[in-house]
Amino acid sequence: MKQLKVILGKRSYPISIGSNIIQKDDIFWPLKPGNQAMLVTNKTLANLLKDKVLYHLRKSGIKIDQVILSDGEQYKTLNEMELIISALLEKKHTRDTTLIALGGGVIGDLTGFAASVYQRGVAFIQIPTTLLAQVDASVGGKTAVNHLLGKNMIGSFWQPASVIIDIDCLKTLPQKELVSGIAEVIKYAIVFDEKFYSWLEENIENILSLDHEIMSYCIKKCCELKSKIISLDERENNFRALLNLGHTYGHAIETHAGYGNWLHGEAISVGIVMAARTSKILGYLKETDFKRIITLLKRTGLPVKGPKNMSAASYIPYMMRDKKVISGEIRLVLPLSIGKSEIYNHVDKNIILTAIKESQ
């Protein structure tokens, strides 16, 4: 088992990465025998992993209740979050309870948001089961639900008490979900680390085949990169926004298409292409780096073109609602080279539209 720490003073927390680590003693830190907890998962995982996790929680002496939600991005709503709150109240959970999120980014976001508002804030533990959640969504304390007009528009910053990453959970993933998660891995490499990008180019087939050592290194590397950024800029006042490479365009696709019709990673992949193309048109990103980005996304099996039924102009209203917008100005994360990105204001809308059109 490998362990990292997100350093945030009194709110620092461990990230544990390994195989079958759910079975280890004291893994559900900070829970102790006799503590009360609520497991939150979805209908799919209820059949695959829930009983195993419940068994080990009970074995650890935890008084555990459960709530099972519907599966999918279209259920990342206030209505679904209210089911968690109702279950907590019905089972008489107090302020010293701990919520446990067993699932991907949707379950993690819903559970974290519920934890942040239940009786003005209770602890929660992340057990991410998808690659996307293991490398990105479970770390950093961003919690949210979607609104019809925009993704992740209702939420809070609420850090978990611990993150438990069991690599064996990835065996339950459909291939499409695994591929989707790799989009976030590629994002980290483009934004922060050219050597890691070269490593991905060499090892992408091994990642896709769930080679244990390769996957373990890959997840640990992403968590290291993210935890370092979180420690420096927890509430995205500055360069944490770099983690949003591709998201301004990608969230527009997800919202327009209807939540769940495009997987998050698929939309982010196209968003990365659009951001890279914007940078290339502006003369920042070299053609060779642009081609390397397209090639790796394609080799992974990710899309590099936006939805055919979505016009370039229809992206703009969604992009104007992006959380990085300040004083009505779209702010974009653009790659300058592989391993280096920056945040730009005042990018000409015609250039943005051209980049979108050329990526359709």
56-97 residue pLDDT tens: 999 999 999 999 999 999 999 999 999 999 999 999 999 999
How high does pLDDT run on average in the chain?
96
286 classed as catalytic: no
DSSP for 250-307 reads: HHHHHHHH-TTSS-HHHHHHHHHHHHHHHHHHTT-S-HHHHHHHHHHHHHHT---S--
More confident residue, 346 or 301: 301
277 classed as catalytic: no
Q: Which of 42, 146, 152, 244 is catalytic?
A: 244
Q: Which of 93, 247, 256, 292 is catalytic?
A: 247
pLDDT value of residue 229:
96
147 classed as catalytic: no
Q: Tokens 């379950």 — which residue?
A: 107
Sign of CA dihedral 88, 93, 95, 98: negative
- State yes or no: 169 annotated in a binding site: yes
pLDDT value of residue 342:
97
Average pLDDT in the 314-323 region? Answer: 93
- State yes or no: 90 annotated in a binding site: no
Q: Which of 147, 240, 299, 357 is catalytic?
A: 240
Q: Which of 80, 177, 234, 236 is catalytic?
A: 236
- Identify the burial level of 262 via C-beta atoms within 10 angstroms of its C-beta, where 0-12 means exposed, 13-18 middle and 19 or more buried: buried
Q: Does residue 255 surpass a pLDDT of 90?
A: yes
- State yes or no: 264 annotated in a binding site: yes
240 classed as catalytic: yes
Angle 349-355-360 (CA atoms, 0-180°, nearest 5)? 125
Map out the domains of the chain with their CATH numbers.
2-172 (3.40.50.1970), 175-357 (1.20.1090.10)
Q: Which of 264, 277, 280, 323 is catalytic?
A: 264
234 classed as catalytic: no
56 classed as catalytic: no
- Cα 149 to Cα 28, 31, 156, 246, 253: the distances in Å are 37, 38, 18, 19, 12
What are the pLDDT digits (tens) for 186-221? 999 999 999 999 999 999 999 999 999 999 999 999
- State yes or no: 247 annotated in a binding site: yes
pLDDT value of residue 355:
98
247 classed as catalytic: yes
- State yes or no: 170 annotated in a binding site: yes
244 classed as catalytic: yes
184 classed as catalytic: yes
Whether 243 contacts 325, CB under 8 Å: no
Q: Which of 50, 56, 221, 226 is catalytic?
A: 226
